[in-house]
Structure 1
Amino acid sequence: MPSSVLLQGAVGAVGVLIGILFLLVGIAMIVWTYSDAKTNSSHPAFLWALVVFFAPILGILLYVLLGRNAR
């Protein structure tokens, strides 16, 4: 039977991995928004990247609905 110390370490490691995954997804959303806004938006790309940085899910939705120029 595993000791509780090993289980706590495993849970902590999983928590750290999940945290790193969320961080990478957040960075990827910011980078994608910035690069897409440079080519598909009449608004400054840096401002859209800031919106996504401060409000990730809402920022992506706002950018897709309002920030991209109609093609």
Structure 2
Amino acid sequence: MVPLQNAAGGLALLISLLFFALFIYMVYWTYTDAQRNSPHPAFLWAIVVFLAPLLGLVLYVLLGRR
């Protein structure tokens, strides 16, 4: 029983790290894309995506890009 609990904890850690990496990539992608395709400051779009990841990304795609 103990090895199964330990394996589940390792899997949860791996999934958490993958979601964290995806979150960091979303902020990075928004910043770099906004530098090229947005008339608004890229740093502000990165902050919006950092504070509200899914909503911020949707807002950027709908409102922030030319």
The alignment's TM-score, normalised by the length of structure 1, stands at 0.91
Larger radius of gyration: 1
Show structure 1 runs of 4+ deviating over 4 A: none
Q: Give the Cα separation in 2 of the matches to 1:7 and 1:14.
A: 11
Aligned equivalent of 2:30? 33
- Cα RMSD of the aligned pairs, angstroms, is 0.4
Deviation, structure 1 residue 25: 0.2
Structure 1 unaligned spans of 5+: none
SS at match of 2:61: helix
Q: In proportion to residue count, which structure has more helix?
A: 2
Identity of aligned residues (%): 59
Aligned equivalent of 2:17? 20
Aligned equivalent of 1:64? 61
The alignment's TM-score, normalised by the length of structure 2, stands at 0.98
